[in-house]
Structures are given as C-alpha cells and as structure tokens.
Structure 1
Amino acid sequence: MSPSSAPTAAPTATRPAQVPFAAALGRFGGAPAVILRDRVLSYRDLSARVDALAERLGPVPRLVALAASNDLGSLVAYLAALAGGHPVAVVPADKPQALDSLLAAYDPDVVLRGGAEPVLEERRRGSIHVLHPDLALLMSTSGSTGSPKLVRLSHANVQSNAEAIAEYLRIGPADRAATTLPMSYCYGLSVINSHLLRGAALVLTDHSVVDPCFWEDFRTGGATSFAAVPYTFELLERVGFANMELDGLRYITQAGGRLDPGTVRRYAELGAERGWDLFVMYGQTEATARMAYLPPHLAATSPGSIGVPVPGGSFRIDPVPGLEHGELVYAGPNVMLGYAEGPADLAAGRKVTELRTGDLARQTEDGLYEVVGRRSRFVKIVGLRIDLGRVEAMLHELGVQSAAAGTDERVVVAVEDGHDPVLLAKLLSQGLGLPRGALQVMPVDALPRLENGKIDYPAVRALDTGEAAAPAGPAVPAETAAGAAPREDAKAIFRDTLDLEEVGDGDTFVSLGGDSLSYVAASIRLEKALGHLPADWHVTPVGRLVPQATAPSAPARRWRPARPAPLETGIVLRAVAIVCIISSHVGFFSWQGTAHVLMAVCGFNFARFQLGGERLPRLRRHLVSLTRIVVPSVAFIALAYAVTDRYTPANIALLNAIVGPAEITEQWHFWFIELLAYILLCVAALLTIPWAHRAERRFPFGFPLALAGVGLLARFGVLDPQVPHTMPVLWLFGLGWAAARARAVWQRVLLTAVAVASVPGYFEDDPKRNAIILGGVLLLVWLRSIPVPSALHRPLGIVASASLYAYLTHWLVYPVVDDYGKGLAVLASLASGIAYWAVATRCMNGAVRLAARIRGGAGRR
C-alpha cells in the first residue's frame, strides 16, 4: 500500500506516553546540553527545538523512522519522538539500504533525517499502524541493518536503563560525554540518554578517535568521558592515547564485545596512573543497553569479568545440557517488550519478562559474573563440538587477530596481517582435532566489521564460498554502470595527494597528515570523484567518502546557470586574494590588503591541520608543512637571483625582512613568505615547550587569542618584534587561529571586537586597505562557507592551491607580458603559478617517497 493511498488511524485525545527525561529537558535551564564545534546549546534551547519538532509530529502517535548521525538534527529528532510519544526506529544515516529495508518492512508514517536541522518527511497525516502505548524505541540487534527483526523497547525500558547507568557512573551536571559511537547503536544511545537524564552535556562529534579533530573537540568541549568498543582500543593504540594529556578525563566505558583481559588490565592501570577510571560493561540491545558493569577498582584484578548487575537488575545461570557452563539469564526493568518482525508486532505488549542472553557464564567466588562462551558460537563437525570463541583465543595466543565463523560442515577463520594461512590451518586442525578439510583459513587485509565495531560474522562465513556481499553503500554511479571510466575513489586520492602507500577505511585527511597546501588539491579531485564535497570531508573517515548515487538519465534540458553551492571561506579568500595581489602589482586594478587577509587564513588553516596529536609528532608535522613552503620558495628565489639583478642572497635565505634595506625595494617582494616562515617556525618551537603545549590543549581559544594579544603589542609599537623592515602581522595570524577555534557566538563577537578595534589605522591614510583587511577577517570569523556557483568551484580551487606559487612566479612573469595587456599579464602570472605548483608538488612528492624508502631501508637494516 502506497503512503498516499493508505488509510489513517483516527486521532485520539489521549495524551501519548512519553520518556520522562526527554519530555523534561527544560528543567535544567541554561546549563549546557550540547557542545558543537561552532556553538553551545543550553537545555533551554534544546528543549525548545525538541518541543517544536514534537509539535510538528502531532498529538497522534505515529511510527517514525530516523536516519541518524551524530549531529544536532538527529539528536533533536530522536528526543522529539521520545517526548511526543511516537515510536521511533533508529537506523544509520550512512547506510541507505538500512532505511530502505525499514521502509519496505514497516512502512513508517514519518521519516526523519538529521543534519544541522532535522528534516521531516511526512508520509501520511495519521498512522496506519496499531501502536502499543508502551512502545518507544525500535532498534536492530548487534548492529544488523538489513533484517526486519527489531527489538521493541518501552518508555520504561529507556528511562530505567538511563537511570541505572547514570547511578553507577555517578553522572552529574559537570560531566560531558564525547559521542564516539553512532546513535543507531544502542550503546551510543545509552550515552545520550544517561547524560541528558542528569543534566550533563554531550560533546557532539562524528569524528573517529584516530582523528586529531576528535581530540580537539574533546579538549575544547571539556569532555570528561568517552565510550569504547574493543576495536576502539586498537585505534587508541594507533594514536598514542597512553601519552595524551587529557586533564578533564574522568572515565572510559567499554562494552560492545569482550575486551581482551590483558588490555583491560593495562588500561585500568593506565587510568589509575592518570586519574581516570575504566568501566568494563556488558549488555545487549534486548536489555536496552546495559546489564552489568565491573567496578573500576576491580578491573586490574578481575579483568575477565563482566562484574555485577546494574542497579535494579539480577542474574541467574541456567544449566545447559551437555555443556560445562550454564546460560546467563537477566531480569530487570530494562528487559525489552519482545521482538518485532513486521508491522503487526507493533501492537503487541510485553511478551518476555527476562532475557536469555545466549551467553555461557559462571559466577566467581567473589560474586562477580564471567562470560565464558556463547551458545550460538558452537558448531558440531564430525561429532565434535567446536567453540568458535576458543578458535579465536588459540590464534590470539599466537599473536594473530582473527574471526571464526562456520556451520556444521566447516569452520571458516579470517586472519589479519599476512600470516601464513596454511600453517595456521595446520595448527588449528591439530589443536581442535578437526579434519583439515573441515577448516578454512582466509587471509584478509582487515577483519570485516559492522558499523558499531563488532565483527561481521556473516561476512566471515561468506568468505568460504566467495559470496561475501559488497560493502554497503550508495549505488554505483551511472557512468560506471554504463561502461564509462569509473571515478577515482577517496583512498586513491588521499594516497596520491599525501604520498602514502596505505590508507585505511578509518583514516581521515587530517589523521593522515594533510595540511593546508594539500587540502585544496585533494578537495578538487574529491569533489569530482564523489559528485559532491561533503561538509567536514577532511575529518570524515575515508570509508564513508563514497560517490553519490546518480539518478537515472533524464531528457536533455536547456542550459541553466549553475546554482550557488557552499565553498569554504578559506578557499575563496585564497583564490580571490592572489588574484587581487597580482592585479594590484600589475596595475590591472588596485585592491590592496588581501595579502594580510591571507595571513589570517594561514592562522586559520594552521589551527585546522597542524594542531592534532602530541608534542613530538606534531612538531614533525609542523616541520614537514614548513618544508613544503620553504623549499619551493627558496628554489624559485634562487632562480630569480640567477637570472635577474633584483635580489640578494638574503632573499634566498628568507632573511631580507631582517637584514635587507629599510626602504621599499624589489628585495621586499617576498616579505609574506619570509614572515610566514618566521611565524610558523616560532609557533612550532613554542608548542614543543610542555607548559605551552598544555596551555594550548586546555585553552584552545584563549591560547591563540593571547598570541594575537602579543602580536597586537607589536602592532601598536609597545613591543619591538625585531623584524625591522616589515609591519607586524603575528596578530593577524593569531586572529585566524582563534577564528578556527571559536565555537560559541560570544567568542566570535569577541574576535569581531578585537578586529574592529585593531585593524583601523593599521595602514595610515589608507582606509580602503584597512577595510579590506577587516572584511576578510570578519568573513573568516563568521562564515565557514560562501555560496559560489558550482561551476567555479574547480577553477577557484586550482587558483587557491597554486596561490603560494603564483605569488612567487608573478614577479618574473608579469614584467615580460605587461606590454601585451594588463589582463593578459594577470592571466599569465596565474598560469605560471599553476604550472609551478604542479611541477613543485610532483618533485616534493617524489622527495617524500624517496625519504620514506630510505627510512624503510635503514629500519630493515
């Protein structure tokens, strides 16, 4: 039945049931509720947004489908459904097939999508469904998204489990949780529920823990906790978490699968040293989220235990015939109503009162519970009962990461890291007593995982026959399906742009070491490859950067002007500034001041790309980025010195600003590059000092603002910057840095006030120049993007990428072409800069690759 023709249920005057905490958000008033990169939302603000959307959903309960990401729109949509009494099924927004499956199986009345604001698609005014008054939430089990089988959770389930979690974690108004897990996963929702219940705040982020931007958000937002699944700890090892300085961290929670006891003990001990706790937890979607937790003081001594039941819950162990250990059974107010396998089940009330977990467990002498296996993780082959968990444990003891699945015919084991599958199969066959033909070991680059980080066991089983499903994602672009050349993929673009051999699905542009020079080049190719350029693509895991589905071909239409689409302000300013700089020097038109705007853009980009990680890795990234500026600059200036008589060795050494002539001569041509190099070098050195490193981490907005303040002392002549022949620009760099760190409106207002107070008079008797500088800085402070016709995105991106090189080359190019026309001189200068950009980038990339090979060879020796 189509949505348009479906009958609707008659409205009822009865007020629908609500989840209490979602309906009473406003009671916390002005306390912070949601901390975003660009602003902070109070509980009062959040409540107003939730109430407004709940009113749009209407008083009659309707079945809601929510395609959710970790963004404000998704959060508001979820809370509005709970507060308005509308049963909501939550699926991941980045898995279109999950929503398609839900629509086909349940025909929801309303579809909600997230984003900056929630998007409501009303499929009918009322509801065609009979919805039980207790039904609040529908969730897939264990991260599955293709099955119509859903867990039915009540208002009381959601509320009681949030209360239990908040009690044993001692969550209070001062707590702030970073959202490391997706909202479509019950563990991720439990973090949201338990914190909003107690008036705590959410640092709302969709970044992975491997992204420096995640830790920037963590520190900037004052986060006190984050949630982790076992795979998260593998990622934490990669980013050097043990050496991070996280002064505000109070605890880490872990669930979503068994964590190796050695890892539990190690992180518990690390937490004891650093002043934070590790809460190992146990749960299932069928119990809303959590059933047990291990008190932190026991984590180091009982690392294999799941601990004790959550407040209000209880366990018992029922014998299982033929097995040494019994099945763990849980009872508590958070146990689900039952399963739904189709729309008719939505009318059902409670069908279960306790949860048979399917886990085999034992209780230790000290009263703790310990899971020792899984009933469904046994297969019976040639009369032998094989514990698949034991297969993985055997390989783990050998240092092999693996995942085992199978049927009563064969065990299939996926192994990582290039281990010899023949040798491993032989060892397992002997250890398990299985015939060799009943065991298949398959090497994989990475273990297949679900969205929530758990192993995708159906995908492991499919390896046996080669029928593994292709990764879920948008449809193949039409031009590929039609036989045209396929688009580049994001991994190939990142490998080429950043000179890398391997790029993983969880890597991002920033985590891979991308900087402002490679950013624009990568964005141009990525937009062409994807058909669009996602917001914050530079901090989006590469596995999620997939092409948009291409709509079926439509009849040819008349040409229409390209619609404006947002292009990042920094890219626009870089492109416009270099055109204005060259045009002013050529005399095509005069629009001076944009070079100083570029200095603020440099500070902005420095904050975005250069501040992630710890001190020494960050210094290495700073020096690499500085090298990419200095080397092509010195090479070109040396060429200019050789072919003209305008420059001196001081220019080649980038020292003219210090030792050059006081009067303005041609030797001043490269002042911008010289001062930028000085600033970047000094800031990099400053941030290697422990107290400065800690201060930048603790005060991400205040630190650059203080740096701008120091620069203002030089700007107003209070301090002598010891760079005698140029005007001070450190304060502009600091303002740009602070602009990138500004999250709240008051911070932007403060930066605006500083700019308005300091820019006028910077160039005496040149108010137009000062106005251009002020305008550029304010654009950077207030606008993250500027609408630009999409047809201009690529040309502007190319010009922005080549801006440094065009600045260098135009000094030699335009005097040669000037006699043929000012406009032609500008175009020739830009073209020469683009050409030098292409050549210099290729040479630098080759040097980087060569250095990597040399280091690799030295390491092998």
Structure 2
Amino acid sequence: MTVLPIVAHLRGFDDRIAVQCSAPSSASVIAAEPVREGPQQVTYARLATLVEDYATELGPAPRLVALAARNDLASLVAYLGALSAGCAVLLASEITEELRATYDPDIVVEAGHADVIRETSAHRLHPDLALLLSTSGSTGSPKLVRLSAANLRANATAIAEYLSIGPDDRAATTLPMFYCYGLSVVHSHLLRGASLLLTERSVLHDEFWREFLDYRATSFAAVPYTIDLLDRIGFARMTLPDLRYITQAGGRLPPERVREYAALGKQSGWDFVVMYGQTEATARMAYLPAHLAAEHPDCIGIPIPGGEFTLEPLEDAGDGSDAPCELVYRGPNVMMGYAQSARELALGRTVEVLRTGDLARRTPEGLYQVVGRRSRFAKIFGLRVDLQRLESGLAAAGFTACCADDDEHLVVAVEAPPSDPTETAARLAGLPATAVRICPVERMPRLANGKPDYPAIRRLAEPAAQVRDIRALYADALGIDPVLIRQDSTFVDLGGNSLTYVTAAARLERALGRLPGDWPTTTVAELERIPERRTRFGRSLDTGTLLRAIGIVLIVGSHVGLFVLWGAAHVLLGVAGFNFARFAVTATPRAERLRHTLRTVALIAVPTAAWVALTLVADDYYSWQNVLLLNKILGPRDSATAGHLWFLEVLVYFMIVAALLIRIPLVDRLERRAPFWFAMALVTVTIMFRYQAFGVYPAKDVPFSPLAVWFFALGWAAAKATTAWQRLMVGAVVLATVPGYFGVPDRERLIMAGLLLLVWLPAIRVPALVAVGAAVLADSSLFAYLLHWQVYPLFGQRQVAALLASLAAGVVATRMVAGLRRWGSPRCRVILSLGSALDGPDPGRRLVGKLRDQDVARNRLAGKVIK
C-alpha cells in the first residue's frame, strides 16, 4: 500500500523528467539493474516503475529500514520504495553502530547494497510512522524525530504553495537528502511534478555549475555556509538565465548578508527567500516573502500556509512588555514526537504543539523576529548565560564566535580574532575572566547541514584539540604572505599552478598522510579537519608529477648521451595541457583565469629570459631572439642552439594563446557549458597541424615548433575526460595520430605510453622514497631543462656524472628561486594587489580598499585592531 501521496502521484506526471543525475543508475539497491555511467534523465513514469519494483521486492510486511542516503538515484528509489511498501525509514548519512544498537533495523541499506536482516519486523511500528530523522543534522544521533506521512505531505504542500513550485521548476540538490531541509526540496518538487538535479557536487566545483546550466536549473537551497562558498567563487558575477529563486535556511544569516543577496537577486532577476524551520516541524515553519527581505532582513517572516505562531512568556522571565517570549508553532507538520529507543517507534502522537526554544517578537508589520534561543542557556558559577545573546554581542564587537560550555567554563570559539576577546566575553556574560576559555579557530566547526557543531566547539577546550596549519604550508609552497591566506581559500584560488603543485602536494601528503583527489579545490579549513590517514604502502603520486620526473631524466640523459630515449618532451607538452586545464580552466571568472595563467607564464619566461641574457655576457651561445623566447618565430633556425629552448618557447605560446582564447566571453560560455566537448573541439582544430604544416616550417622542424600544439590540446582533453567513454575517445585519438608523426617507432611508442597513462591513471602508489625523489625532480624540472645545456658539457665523457650534475643544478636553482620568492613575497604581493585593484571600475576606491585590507590582515596577525 502506498502511504505517501508524493509516491502515489508519480504516475500522474507520465513522461515529464523527474530526475537528472550523473551518478550510476542503480534502479534498485536490492536487485540492481546494469549500471550506466554519464548524465541520465529519468521520467516520472520510469521513476514510478523503479519505486514500485523496489516496494514489491521489500514485500508487504512493514519493517524498519535504515538508509544511508546519498544524493543519487539509488537512494531516492530506496527511500520512496520503502515508504511505498509501508515501511518506516530511518534516514541518516551513515548507519552507525550506535544507531544499529539502539534501533535494531530490519533492513540496512548502505552504499547501494541492502542487508535484509529479517523478513518480518522485530518491532511494533505505529501505522502512521513514516520517517525518522536526527534532531541535530549530525551523523548517527540516537535521538530521532518521528514524522508521519501526513507531516511530510503537509509540509511539502505548504512549501510548494509559497514558493509557487510548478512542473517547469528544476531544483539542484545542494544539501544532503538525510537533512530535513534537503529532503524537503525533494518532497516539494516531486509533489508538483517538477524536476530534481540530483548531485553531490559542491557549489565550489566547476561541474556543479556546468550541470546547473546544462539542465537549466531554476533553484537551489543554501545554508549560511553555502553563502560563504558562493562569495568565494564569484557567484555575483555568474550568469544563470534560468535561476528563479534561492532559498536560505539552516541557521541565521546576518541581516547585512540577507540584504546583500536580496539586492543581488533583484538585480539579476531571481528571488532570495529566507526560511525558518526545525526537523521537529518536518522542515519549514516560516518564510520571509522575497519582496520584504531588503527591508526586514532580520526577520523570519510569516508562518507557512496551514501553520500559526504564538508568543508565550517564559515562566522565569519576570513581568513587563519587554520580557522575552518563546515562539510556539502549531500546524499539521508538527512531528509525532521524539524517539530514543526502538520501543518508542510504537507510539502515536505525543506532541501537539512545537515549543521551538527560540525567543521571538512580532514586529508592527506582522513579521516574526527571532531574538534569542531559550535552549542555549548555560549555568556557570550559578549564573544563567544566554549563549545566543552572547554570540550576538561578540559579533557586534567585531568577533565571529560560537559559544558553548563544559559545565565549568564558557567555551568561545573565535574565527581569526583581531584581538583577545576574553574580557569582552566575560563582560557580556557577567562572568569572571577565569571562567572563559577562548579557542581561536581558522574555520568554525560545522555539521553536515552547515550549522555550528557545538559539541565539537565544546571539545576545543580539551588539551588534545589541535589543528594543522595548512596556511603556513601553502604560504611556504606558494611564496605567499600567510596573513593573506583565508581559511576558505583553495590551492587554485591562491594561484596554484603546475609549477607549485608538486611542492604543495608533497608537503600536504606528509602532513595529512593521504591526500583527497580534489585537494586543489578543497578549502584550507576542510584540509585541516581531515583526519590523518597513513597507508602501509608508500604514497600516492600524481601521474603528471611522475611523468615530469621521468621526462626530465630521459631528456637530460638522452642529451648527454647516456642513453637514447626520445619523446619525453612531447609527453610533457601533454602534461602541460593537462595541468593548464586543471589549474587555469576553473570556475573562477575569466579575468581571474587570465591573471593566474600570466603568473604561471611569468614563472617560466622570466627565469628563462634571465638565464639566457646572463649567458650572453660570457659568449654567443644564444641570441637575443632566445632572450625574448621568440626563436621559433623570428629565427635564426640554422643556429646550433636554435632548438635548445624550443620546449619552453612553445609552452609559453600555448599557455598565453589558450588563456586569451577562454577570456573571450562566447568561448568562455561554451567551455563552461561543455568542458570535454570544448577540449575535443580544440583537438579537432589543432590536429590539422599533425598532417599539414602549410609551409611554415620544414618537415624536420614541425614536431619541435608551435605546430605541435595538438599535444597540448590532447592533454587538455585528458584532464576534462571524466567518464570511461570520454577517456576511450581521447585514447583512441592518441593511438590514431601519434604513429607516423616522427617516423621513429620507439619515440612514438614512448609518447603514446606517457599520454595514455595521463588519460587513464590519475595517480600511482609508489614507495615513499620514490615519491619523494619524483617530487623533487618534477619540482626542479624547469631549471634542470634550462641549465643542463651549460652543465653537462663540463663533464666530457663522464655521462652519469653529467646527468646527476644537471639534475642537481636544477634542484639547487629551484631552491634558490623559491627562497627569493619567499623573501620577496610580501613586497610582490603588495604590488600584485595594487595592480589588481587598478583592474576594473572605480580603481581609486578599489586601491584604497586593497591597501586597507593589507593593513587589517597584518595588524590582525600582530594582535592589533584597526579602528
């Protein structure tokens, strides 16, 4: 029997698209269909069939199903199918041992696999019970909210009504399904025949926005932390023609941010809807109509359709009209009650009204405004401390803080404090300073739903609480002033590129034990919170790094005559294209992309030009064309050294042209909309130089000229190939085009092997010693290539010594330049900041802002406050 109208109505929308997703399509997690990769669209009719089949497999006996939910089709089908079968679903991010021990589920669904423990339930389940959710949004809390099918239906209907959700709406799932806010998006859209873009990607990732644009999504949900991430990726400058509204809940957003996003929405043609809710009310209790957000950004708004608020005085609040009142909610979406044991799953409704625990007032305009939190009181030294009011007071004093208590002390976590907040916190709380424990943090601990993690904040006062200083690591690896690195910065944001990637990756792996694959786009704060993970066998080495290390050894070794293995330079052209696509073709705005690339080009061109100019003082080994890196364009071509620096010259050309190309607005839009197909289009265009030189270069010079650009394009395509069939396509092009290009089979086989490794194998686990050696060689490959022409002739026929000396010279030069960059970074950073301040409208105002930002950052480090 279908117990949820959301499920019953699926058939009514027939061939409309219900779900767009890129994850494998496990139609059933009990008897899965064959998995298909790549983007897919599932109609309502198809979704209804999958859900019905799943319910049939479960059978007619209602049971307790514990589901570790992800934002994918398999989880959605399992959830709806279990409800359709009359089961009660315990939804969580993971099914912990504590949850298993407390509730003893009859079926456990994890990672697409269902473990059927028993065919009939071991529990008495109330017939109205449909869903169990954690009260806090944290993982595995044993205290659960009991929700009925009527609760789910009422809340979904109300949300769909006040947001005017229709069949043409398409929502991106920016929040997890196990979180009531994220789940409410699923319910309200399926109820109205709208569509879901099911994704687990963060708003930080390029792929999320590409899917958002491709699917023409009309909305997404945000918590305060999401808003911070949107600021970091330049959301205000994005063009999203189909976006209709953004909703925000999951915690209080500062009024100035509400006003800012309301204004941005008005300017860009979308609404910003602030909402208020709790899991105990299924999801939503109030919303602030979008047209009121700018004038009343500190309000939660009005009750949702079908709900109502009352304000009830606190028993110990005293008399007077200004006495705080608790916000109390009534409505059909109020939970059945709590559960803390399996026995309580048999209970019916034990709660009629919801005492929110929030202190509130009603404005003259009829809007509700939350002014404090009743349940966030602490009793320290016999004094009652309102932690919510304390946080607001600290915010007014300039501190970003969250407060908790450990029974004996007030624990205050403060982000990047401009000064010591102890006295301020003590004064606001009415406590002696000795009762206050200040815990500076780089990033506030948060739950999966983006809310402050108060248990984690409480633990910060424990002596063992420590965080890694990833900022200092990045500052040293990238040559950046540490005071200018924010906790929401990423390696890519900070201008990280292929030249600094190796050093940063090696140091991060030493600090963390094992790196996540997406570490270049992971924030500093998130990296610091990663638990240390050491593996028994060696380290994971990026394939590009390994190829750079092997490549420089083969290049130098072949030049000194120790062996003859040609082709590594062309593999490195592919690696360069691969890294360009990773670090320069990102979600950042076009202008920022160009600046990042020009900085990378400068790190190649400036040392090269400087070294060539220095050699000209001693002899005529090079010419002035080499100083300008224009030998391949201006000649002379018959010089004995004409081909020595060809690789660096063409690499600089390729990067500059590619950066300028994607700076063009139309090209930029095309690349962001279809990154792989754009890369393959580049391969298609440039591959003509594989077969036709147009008389620009003699046949023997073509592979060592700018006409070798198709190797760079192949590397770009390899980086953007994210599915097996895309990798097969790139690999097929490699196998079809490289043979016959040089007329030397051994050279061509080496190039094909290197490029195919780049396409198919993102990382390789190697012994730690090999990883360290490869990282050092890859990091110094630029200077080893540049200097070896002058180093190896000094050793005559001692070829092994010549090879080792050339590599050592590269290592020493790299260390020296890195030291100079660190020494000059504060000065250079100021110059670069001033330069970027002058780029754009109102340069005078931007310049003043940059200078002030510099001063504020430095004085914060010194423990001072800029007034």
TM range (shorter): 0.7 to 0.9
Offset, 1:254? 0.4
CA contact (8 A) 1:622 1:684 kept: yes
Question: Where in structure 2 are the equivalents of 1:506-585 lying within 5 Å?
Answer: 506-545=488-527, 546-548=530-532, 568-585=542-559
For 2:56 and 2:473, locate their aligned partners in 1 and report how far apart those are by CA, in whole Å. 45
1:33 match: secondary structure = strand
**CA shift digits 1:421-455 (9 cap, x unpaired):** 366358747xxxx5777995947345744323323
Contact 1:418 1:444 in 2 (8 A): no
Match of 1:494 in 2: 474
Contact 1:22-1:80 within 8 A present in 2 as well: no
**How far 1:235 sits from its partner (Å)?**
4.3
Name the aligned partner's letter for residue 536 of structure 1: D
Code of the aligned partner of 1:604? F
Q: Quickly say closer, same or farther: Cα 1:527–1:405, change in 2 above 3 A.
A: closer
The amino acid of 2:287's aligned partner reads Y
Q: 1:207 aligns with which of 202, 210, 219?
A: 202
Question: Match of 2:268?
Answer: 274
Partner of 1:801: 779
CA distance in 2, matches of 1:726, 1:283: 63
Equivalent-residue separation in structure 1 for 2:459 and 2:438 (angstroms)? 11
Do the aligned residues in 2 keep the contact of 1:581 with 1:595 (CA within 8 Å)? yes
Q: Determine the structure 1 residue equivalent to 2:797.
A: 819
Q: Does 1:262 align with 2:256?
A: yes
> How far apart are residue 796 of structure 1 and its match?
4.0
Judged with a 3 Å threshold, the aligned counterparts in structure 2 of structure 1 residues 813 and 406 are, in CA distance, closer, same or farther, namely: closer
Give how far 1:255 is off: 0.2
SS of residue matched to 1:729 = helix
- Given the alignment of the two structures, is residue 669 of structure 1 paired with residue 644 of structure 2, yes or no? yes
* Displacement of 1:277: 1.5
Please tell me whether the aligned partners of residues 224 and 251 of structure 1 are also in contact (alpha carbons under 8 angstroms).
yes
In structure 1, the partner of 2:593 is: 618
Is residue 2:141 matched to residue 1:141? no
CA distance in 2, matches of 1:838, 1:581: 21
Matched, 1:599 2:578: no
Q: Of 633, 642, 647, which residue of structure 2 is paired with 1:658?
A: 633
User: What TM-score results when the alignment is normalised by the length of structure 1?
Assistant: 0.78
Measured after TM superposition, the shift of residue 273 of structure 1 is: 0.6
Partners of 2:561 and 2:799 within 8 A in 1: no
Contact 2:487 2:525 in 1 (8 A): yes
CA distance in 1 between counterparts of 2:769 and 2:15 reads 47
Q: Is 1:241 matched with 2:235?
A: yes
In structure 1, C-alpha distance between the alignment counterparts of 2:650 and 2:203, rounded to whole Å: 35
Rounded Cα–Cα distance in structure 2 between residues aligned with 1:762 and 1:175? 52
Q: Secondary structure of the residue that 1:494 maps to in structure 2? A: helix
Change (3 A) 1:32 1:749: farther
Cα deviation per residue 1:393-429 (whole Å; 9 max; x = unaligned)?
4454454434455799997766553245366358747
How many Å apart are 1:275 and its aligned residue?
1.6
- 1:289, CA displacement in angstroms? 1.9
Distance 1:573 1:32, change over 3 A: farther
Write the distance in 2 (CA, Å) between the matches of 1:644 and 1:450.
62
2:350 maps to 1:351? yes
Pairing 1:34–2:21 present: yes
Please point out which of 441, 446, 449 is paired with 1:450. Answer: 446
Q: Give, in angstroms, the shift of residue 671 of structure 1.
A: 0.9
**Residue in structure 1 matched with residue 27 of structure 2 by the alignment:** none
Q: For the structure 1 residues 818 and 787, does the alpha-carbon distance in structure 2 shift closer, same or farther, using more than 3 Å as the test?
A: farther
**Shift in alpha-carbon separation, 1:768–1:424, aligned structure 2, 3 A:** same
Q: Which amino acid aligns with 2:570?
A: H
The Cα of 1:342 is off from its aligned counterpart by 2.1
Matched, 1:99 2:96: yes
C-alpha offsets along residues 654-712 of structure 1, whole Å, 9 cap, x if unaligned?
Answer: 22111223348432121111111122223334444445444544454454444445434
Q: CA deviation at 1:519?
A: 2.0
Q: Does the residue aligned with 1:303 lie in a helix, a strand or coil? A: coil
Letter matched to residue 513 of structure 1: G
Cα drift, residue 577 of structure 1: 3.7
Aligned residues between the structures: 805
- Cα displacement string for residues 720-777 of structure 1 (whole angstroms, at most 9, x for unaligned residues): 98999715133332343344334566655665666566555544x3466556555554
CA contact (8 A) 1:177 1:201 kept: yes
SS in 2 for 1:667: coil
Aligned partner letter, 2:20: A
Which of residues 284, 308, 320 is equivalent to 2:278? Answer: 284
Unaligned segments of structure 1, at least 5 residues: 1-14, 474-487, 552-561
Which one of 607, 624, 628 corresponds to residue 603 of structure 2? 628
TM-score normalized by the length of structure 2: 0.77
1:857 to partner: Cα distance = 8.8
Aligned: 1:418 with 2:412:
no
Q: 1:120 to 1:811 in 2, by over 3 A?
A: farther
CA contact (8 A) 2:308 2:331 kept: no
Q: 1:787 to 1:151 in 2, by over 3 A?
A: same
The answer on 1:319 being equivalent to 2:293 is: no
The 5-angstrom pairing of residues 359-508 of structure 1 reads: 359-362=358-361, 368-377=367-376, 388-403=387-402, 416=415, 417-419=417-419, 421=421, 424=424, 428=428, 442=438, 444-445=440-441, 448-451=444-447, 452-457=449-454, 466-467=461-462, 470=465, 490-500=470-480, 501=482, 506-508=488-490
User: CA contact under 8 A between 1:317 and 1:362: conserved in structure 2?
Assistant: no
Cα pair 1:713 1:719 within 8 Å, conserved: no
Letter in 1 for 2:300: I
For the residue of structure 2 that corresponds to 1:376, the secondary structure is: coil
Contact 2:538 2:767 in 1 (8 A): yes
Cα distance between partner residues in 1 of 2:501 and 2:588? 18
Contact 1:178 1:205 in 2 (8 A): no
Distance 1:743 1:240 in 2: 25
Tell me, what secondary structure is at the counterpart of 2:181?
helix
Counterpart in 1 of 2:656? 681
Residue by residue over 1:52-96, the C-alpha shift from the partner in whole angstroms, topping out at 9 and shown as x without a partner, is 998998887665555666678877776776677665545556xxx
Mapped pair 1:733 → 2:730: no
CA, structure 1 residues 86+796, in 2 after alignment: closer, same or farther (shift >3 Å)? farther
Deviations 1:574-604 (A, max 9, x none): 3444444445445555554442232232222
Q: Does 174-183 or 22-31 show the bigger shift?
A: 22-31
Picking from 209, 212, 221, the partner of 1:227 is 221
Hey, what's the Cα distance between the residues in 2 that align with 1:305 and 1:297? 13
Q: Using the alignment, how far apart are the partners of 2:459 and 2:477 within structure 1?
A: 35
Gaps spanning 5+ residues in structure 2: where? 25-36, 834-849, 857-867
Among 806, 813, 818, the alignment partner of 1:841 is: 818
The SS at the match of 2:705 is coil
Report the AA paired with residue 740 of structure 1.
Answer: A
Q: Give, in angstroms, the shift of residue 292 of structure 1.
A: 2.6
**1:4 — aligned with what?**
none
Deviations 1:471-513 (A, max 9, x none): 8x9xxxxxxxxxxxxxx76555334323342556544333333
Once the two structures are overlaid, the 10-residue window that deviates more, 582-591 or 646-655, is 582-591
Q: CA deviation at 1:271?
A: 0.6
SS at match of 1:605: helix
Distance change (3 Å), C-alpha of 1:440 and 1:193: same
Counterparts of 1:665 and 1:22, CA distance in 2: 79
The one-letter code of the counterpart of 2:283 is A
Once the two structures are TM-superposed, the CA of residue 261 in structure 1 deviates from its matched residue by: 2.8
| Cα separation, 2, equivalents of 1:566 and 1:240 | 32
